[in-house]
Amino acid sequence: MGLPKKRKNLVILKNALATKILIDSTKTAIGVEVEINGKRNRFYASKEVIASAGAVDTPKLLVASGVGAAADLAALGIDVVSDLPVGKDLQDHLFVPVVLTGSTDIGTALPVVDLRTIGFPTLNGFFALNGTGRPDLQIIPFYMDMASPFFAFACANNFNFNDDICSSLINANQKSELFAILLVLLHPKSRGEIKIRSLNSAPEIYTGYFSNADDFETVTAGIRRIINLTETEYFRGFNSEVARANLPACDGLEYMSDEYWECYALQTGTTLYHPAGTCAMGRVVDAELKVLGVDRLRVVDASVFPSMPSGNTNAPVIMVAERAADLIIQQYYGNQNIVTVP
């Protein structure tokens, strides 16, 4: 059943999963198929259909509807409506943690974490390796009290690092406070892919991290920039050093060499949860977010990004949505004075 939210033209369905966009023989989107509490339902559009399931699930929805690479559709036994590179060119902001030791003469952290001491999001920064132009890297620093319960939890649950990594860093945290600096690669050259093996299972995410060697160079240069902090007056005051993570895969390499940091990046690099680009403008949708080769169908989410923004994706997605709203109003209502209700 629907839940109206202060306006007559909005209905929210709970426990509902869109499984297919209904496209007729003229290649026009006419509605959606939705599974609600295990039952299939069809809803028809009076104007158009908007897909907004994100960079991972929008590709699955389009492929299920016959919009995707012809070879991918053939493997699933789906007739081709529009042959487009849906799910290709996945981009994401990955981060690599660099952990510096701090003071050792402070008290153990209290069981209750004071979020004000963590430092995020009040501390945040961006820098270009050449000192000019758009930033190459973002830094997100976290401060951890000595023996911080937050760090132990975040290492395993937020960052999904294995026991070898977490145990070694937790051990370092038992001896000193830590500065965990997340180094974010803002404009990766590497590309991944969302693969749809079956319509009855979740999409498979192939990140493609570091498939382009240039990303190693950028991240390694960024790591060295962060390590230089240990030479500043503040960090020299307590002989700060890099907290060494236990990485068996990197044991045979010279510690802190470029080869070591490349191995380190492969072992610790993980997602900042900013997937984008899988239905990109110019490849899958046009400048008005309309799906190429299909009428009355748009995509409005991060999957339409042709390239990554220099920062978090939340605000740019909101901007895409606002632009989509303007385009839809323009198309169907022209210059009429349309008042939107917040």
More confident residue, 132 or 91: 91
CB 2 within 8 A of CB 13: yes
- In the predicted model, what is the mean pLDDT of residues 82-87? 98
Q: What HEC string does the chain produce?
A: CEEECCCCCCEEECCEEEEEEEECCCCEEEEEEEEECCEEEEEECCCCEEECCHHHHHHHHHHHCCEECHHHHHHHCCCCCEECCCCCCEECCEEEEEEEECCCCCCCCCCCCCHHHCCCCCCCEEECCCCCCCCCEEEEEEEECCCCHHHHHHHHHCCCCCHHHHHHHHHHHHHCCEEEEEEEECCCCCCEEEECCCCCCCCEEECCCCCCCHHHHHHHHHHHHHHHHHHCHHHHCCCCCECCCCCHHHCCCCCCCHHHHHHHHHHHCEECCCCECCCCECCCECCCCEECCCECEEECCHHHCCCCCCCCCHHHHHHHHHHHHHHHHHHHHCCCCCCCCC
Strands 16-23 and 29-36: antiparallel
Residue 30: its pLDDT value, please? 98
CATH architecture of 2-86+276-333: 3-Layer(bba) Sandwich (3.50)
Specify the fold of 94-193+204-271: Cholesterol Oxidase; domain 2 (3.30.410)
pLDDT digits over 7-51, tens only? 788 888 989 999 999 999 999 999 999 999 889 999 999 999 999
pLDDT of 140 above 80:
yes
In this prediction, residue 1 has a pLDDT band, given cuts at 50, 70 and 90, of: very low
Whole-angstrom distance between the N-terminal and C-terminal Cα of the chain? 23
Give yes or no: 93 in active site: no
Q: Which residues pair with 271 in a beta bridge?
A: 94
pLDDT digits over 301-323, tens only? 999 999 999 999 999 999 999 99
**Average pLDDT of the residues of the chain:** 90
pLDDT of 73 above 90:
yes
In this prediction, residue 142 has a pLDDT band, given cuts at 50, 70 and 90, of: confident
More confident residue, 163 or 150: 163
pLDDT of 120 above 80:
no
pLDDT digits over 260-292, tens only? 999 999 999 999 999 999 999 999 999 999 999
Q: Which residue out of 93, 274, 290, 296 is catalytically annotated?
A: 274
* Domain residue limits, the chain: 2-86+276-333, 94-193+204-271
Residue 108: its pLDDT value, please? 46
In this prediction, residue 111 has a pLDDT band, given cuts at 50, 70 and 90, of: very low
